[in-house]
């Protein structure tokens, strides 16, 4: 039984607070010792540039974070493996190491240049969140929803290039129109690395049942996050988290749902899981809700693994 967490912002948190990924800390939501204790086998590490760096310093900022990640990797390569290929994936699963999948959160980091996507690819990045909440050269984010804007011509080039390179396309934070454009164009499965269900909690960051169905038809995965504001009304916690998992399973079955914590991407997590070491409560809770061991393994990691195996070269 292993866990794959499809989203955290811990690189930024560590970088800003001069925290080493390899040293156990009581600050932040995770570090390598805590990931290991929690049984997380693969952690997606998003590189998230703060809004203050947009639009003119955003590539620089993401490269800073990327360099910081590789610096941390050098210090921890005995326990950390960066996953850039199917082969890495297989090696990682047979080893004691924690796999790291590098993601950029916000396509504005490409600054409208397809070459930058290829540069990121060469530097180890294997997932791109097309937008954050704002508009960028690729598409509109959820905060621009009112314009009805989807993928731009550049955005379409990005999707085709990502399919060609073997990169995960992440639609969390993307406008709904953008979502539909991506689903129509992408040949590969698509992920929502940290999004929940609109039907359970009506928030623009959450996906409608139609969207869940489309993601599933493409054999993608929606990874439910631990942010109370995206789960339900004030006071939402682990029970609401399970309501979202239940809902995805009700609508499309248990093959298309995963976990995308958003650790270190939010100040407020659900009270039951204040950091990564308490992730076991998800396994316990799913058991209590009557999920079979097979189902739990899918939700906690195997569904994400399927998509990684399909997309990575
Ligand atoms: Zn996010």
Q: Quick: pLDDT tens for 92-126.
A: 999 999 999 999 999 999 999 999 999 999 999 99
Q: What separation in Å is there between the alpha carbon of 290 and the centre of ligand 1?
A: 30
**Model pLDDT for residues 266-276, shown as the tens digit of each residue:** 999 999 999 99
Q: What separation in Å is there between the alpha carbon of 46 and the centre of ligand 1?
A: 9
**Model pLDDT for residues 29-70, shown as the tens digit of each residue:** 999 999 999 999 999 999 999 999 999 999 999 999 999 999
| 232: its two tokens | 């339900």
Q: What separation in Å is there between the alpha carbon of 129 and the centre of ligand 1?
A: 9
Whether the per-residue pLDDT at 171 is higher than 90: the answer is: yes
What DSSP character marks residue 236? Answer: -
pLDDT class of 145 with cuts at 50, 70, 90: confident
Whether the per-residue pLDDT at 170 is higher than 90: the answer is: yes
So what's the pLDDT on residue 179? Answer: 98
Residues 194-220 as b/e (b if ≥16 CB within 10 A, e otherwise) read bbbbbbbbebebbbeeebbebbbebeb
Range of the domain at 219: 3-311
Q: What separation in Å is there between the alpha carbon of 265 and the centre of ligand 1?
A: 7
So what's the pLDDT on residue 107? Answer: 98
Q: How far is CA 27 from CA 9, 65, 164, in A?
A: 14, 19, 39
Q: What separation in Å is there between the alpha carbon of 113 and the centre of ligand 1?
A: 22
Q: What separation in Å is there between the alpha carbon of 296 and the centre of ligand 1?
A: 24
So what's the pLDDT on residue 42? Answer: 98
Q: What separation in Å is there between the alpha carbon of 143 and the centre of ligand 1?
A: 13
Q: What separation in Å is there between the alpha carbon of 173 and the centre of ligand 1?
A: 7
Q: Which residue has the tokens 């203050």?
A: 52
Whether the per-residue pLDDT at 304 is higher than 90: the answer is: yes
* pTM, entire model: 0.98
**Model pLDDT for residues 73-94, shown as the tens digit of each residue:** 999 999 999 999 999 999 999 9
State the CATH number of the domain containing residue 209: 3.20.20.140
Q: What separation in Å is there between the alpha carbon of 261 and the centre of ligand 1?
A: 10
Q: What is the chain's Cα-based Rg? A: 18
Q: What separation in Å is there between the alpha carbon of 205 and the centre of ligand 1?
A: 9
Q: What separation in Å is there between the alpha carbon of 229 and the centre of ligand 1?
A: 13
Q: What separation in Å is there between the alpha carbon of 95 and the centre of ligand 1?
A: 30
So what's the pLDDT on residue 126? Answer: 99
Q: Which residue has the tokens 């992730």?
A: 279
| 286: its two tokens | 């799913």
Q: What separation in Å is there between the alpha carbon of 287 and the centre of ligand 1?
A: 28
**Model pLDDT for residues 243-256, shown as the tens digit of each residue:** 999 999 999 999 99
Number of compact structural domains in the chain: 1
Tally of helices (H runs) and strands (E runs) in the chain: 13, 9
So what's the pLDDT on residue 309? Answer: 98
Q: What separation in Å is there between the alpha carbon of 132 and the centre of ligand 1?
A: 7
C-alpha closest to that of 126 among 65, 83, 63, 91 = 83
| Averaged pLDDT, 255-280 | 97
Q: What separation in Å is there between the alpha carbon of 36 and the centre of ligand 1?
A: 23
pLDDT class of 217 with cuts at 50, 70, 90: very high
Mean pLDDT of the chain: 98
**Model pLDDT for residues 193-213, shown as the tens digit of each residue:** 999 999 999 999 999 999 999
Q: What separation in Å is there between the alpha carbon of 151 and the centre of ligand 1?
A: 19
Q: What separation in Å is there between the alpha carbon of 191 and the centre of ligand 1?
A: 13
Instruction: Report the percentage of the chain scoring pLDDT > 90.
Output: 99
């Amino acid at each position: 039984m292993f866990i794959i967490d499809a989203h955290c912002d811990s690189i930024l948190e560590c970088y800003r607070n001069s925290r080493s990924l390899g040293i156990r800390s009581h600050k932040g939501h995770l570090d390598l010792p805590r990931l290991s204790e929690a049984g997380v086998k693969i952690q997606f590490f998003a590189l998230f540039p703060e809004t203050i760096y947009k639009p003119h310093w955003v590539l620089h900022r993401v490269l800073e974070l990327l360099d910081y990640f590789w610096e941390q990797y050098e210090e921890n390569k005995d326990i950390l493996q960066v996953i850039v290929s199917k082969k890495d994936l297989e090696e990682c699963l047979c080893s004691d190491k924690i796999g790291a999948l590098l993601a950029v959160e916000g396509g504005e980091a490409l600054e409208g240049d397809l070459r930058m996507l290829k540069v990121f690819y060469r530097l180890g990045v294997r997932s791109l969140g097309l937008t954050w909440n704002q508009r960028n050269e690729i598409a509109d984010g959820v905060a621009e929803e009112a314009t009805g804007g989807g993928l731009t011509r550049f955005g379409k080039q990005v999707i085709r290039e990502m399919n060609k390179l073997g990169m995960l396309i992440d639609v969390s934070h993307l406008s709904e129109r953008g979502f539909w454009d991506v689903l129509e164009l992408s040949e590969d499965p698509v992920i929502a690395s940290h999004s929940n269900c609109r039907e359970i909690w009506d928030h623009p960051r959450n996906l409608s049942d139609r969207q869940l169905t489309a993601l599933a038809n493409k054999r993608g995965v929606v990874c439910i996050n631990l942010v109370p504001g995206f789960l339900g009304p004030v006071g939402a916690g682990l029970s609401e988290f399970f309501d979202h998992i239940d809902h995805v399973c009700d609508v499309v079955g248990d093959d298309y749902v995963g976990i995308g914590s958003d650790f270190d991407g939010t100040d407020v997590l659900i009270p039951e899981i204040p950091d990564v070491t308490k992730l076991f409560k998800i396994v316990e809770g799913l058991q209590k809700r009557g999920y079979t061991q097979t189902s739990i393994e899918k939700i906690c990691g195997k569904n994400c693994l399927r998509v990684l195996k399909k997309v990575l070269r």
